Amino acid sequence: MCATCGCGGGEGARHEHHSHPHAQEHGHGPEGGRVIDLEADLLEANAAFARRNRELFRRNGVFAVNVISSPGSGKTTLLVRTLEALRDRIPMAVIEGDQQSDLDAERIRATGVPALQIQTGKSCHLDAHAVSHALEEMTLPGRGILWIENVGNLICPALFDLGEGKRVVILSVTEGEDKPRKYPEAFHGADLLLLSKRDLLPYVDFSVDQCSDFAHRLRPGLDLLLLSAKTGQGMEEWLRWVEEGWLRAKASYRPEEPVVA
């Protein structure tokens, strides 16, 4: 049985019941049965775990970053470069979400930063419950950065809050500027849009302006950076963004348990 929620492992948490306070009964419906209006939030079970994760991060001064993109956008490469640049100054750890294999976690471990691989199996996204279990199995990088590399997918991960401090969406310029239009929710929920593989810009028809325009329709004020993890171009701005988030999270470090009223 799992310590977080007593769920027996594997399946999501169903133990919190905040989701349906206003259930009302009215008469009979078209199918001849009794009608009840539940008005129950489907994402509440996930939200409850996300709140718990967020509180854990806050108390430990951890800057948790949820990284979302389609497969092959260069997530892991960027992460490896970022870890190499910051590892001497900032405690870090990585949670890797993939449907199968330990390949990404191995690439991360080669940098010397601890990595935990979550294999989601049939599922196409990480959820807050899976992350809360991962957190039990690892040492939290106190006053540092926890990178959560989501399953490569621009659709499903967008709906699931993991309790992260910031959400970064990576879009490589080879994927085309129309992606915010096609997969709006990923961009709507993002704090930063990273346009990767900048070195390939001369070879593809990708309009940074158009992409930025669309992304801003979905999320006014969304930060946007253009970089190449391969050549290092734009990495400096990215690292500055990361450090700012890290410093802010570090400032909320509260090691003691909260006083319960």
Partner 1 sequence: MHELSLCQSIVEILEEQSRRHHYRRVRRVELRVGPRAMVEPASMVFSFGVASRGTLAEGAALEIRPVPARAVCLDCSCEGEVAKLAEACSNCGSYRLLWEEDGGLRLGEIEVD
194 Cβ partners below 8 Å, 6+ apart? 78, 168, 169, 170, 171, 224, 225, 227, 238
CB of 172 to partner 1, least distance (A): 21
CA distance 32 to 47: 34
The separation between CA 42 and the C-alpha centre of its own chain, rounded to angstroms, equals 19
Q: Which stretch binds partner 1 (CB under 8 A): 6-14, 54-62, 79-87, 196-204?
A: 6-14
Q: In the numeric block, which tokens belong to residue 86?
A: 């910051």
Q: What is the CA radius of gyration of the chain?
A: 20
When asked if residue 58 is in the footprint of partner 1 (CB under 8 A), the reply is: no
Rounded to an integer, what distance in angstroms lies between the CA atom of residue 207 and that of residue 87? 34
- Binding-site size for partner 1 (CB under 8 A) equals 43
**Residues 164 to 183 in contact with partner 1, rule: CB under 8 A:** 181
- Does 22 help bind partner 1 (rule: CB under 8 A)? no
Furthest C-alpha separation in the chain = 67
Verify binding: residue 9, partner 1, rule CB under 8 A: no
- List the beta bridge partners of residue 193: 169, 224
Closest CA to 15 of 32, 28, 2: 2
In whole angstroms, how close is the CB of 159 to partner 1 at the nearest point?
6
Q: Nearest approach, Cβ of 255 to partner 1 (angstroms)? A: 29
Structure tokens that stand for 11 in this block:
């399946």
Which of 63, 160, 206, 246 touches partner 1 by CB under 8 A?
A: 160
Question: What's the order of all strands across the beta sheet hosting 145-149?
Answer: 115-119, 92-98, 145-149, 63-69, 166-172, 192-196, 223-226
Q: Which one of 59, 107, 109, 217 is in contact with partner 1 (CB under 8 A)?
A: 217
Asked if 29 is part of the footprint of partner 1 (rule: CB under 8 A), the reply reads: yes
Q: Is 159 in the site for partner 1 (CB under 8 A)?
A: yes
Q: Which of 45, 64, 135, 225 binds partner 1 (CB under 8 A)?
A: 45
Q: Is 59 in the site for partner 1 (CB under 8 A)?
A: no
Q: Which is nearer to partner 1, 159 or 239 (CB)?
A: 159
- By beta-carbon proximity to partner 1, the closer residue of 67 and 86 is 67
Angle at 137 between CA 136 and CA 138, to 5 degrees: 100
Interface with partner 1 by CB under 8 A: which range of 109-117, 190-198, 212-220, 245-253? 212-220
Q: Please, which residue, 69 or 82, has the CB nearer to partner 1? A: 69
To the nearest 10°, report the CA torsion of 106, 74, 199, 202: 150
Residue among 25 and 137 whose Cβ is closer to partner 1: 25
β 166-172/63-69 pair status = parallel
- List residues binding partner 1 (CB under 8 A): 11-12, 14, 17, 19-20, 23, 25, 29-43, 45, 122-125, 127, 155-156, 158-160, 181, 184-185, 188, 214, 216-218, 220
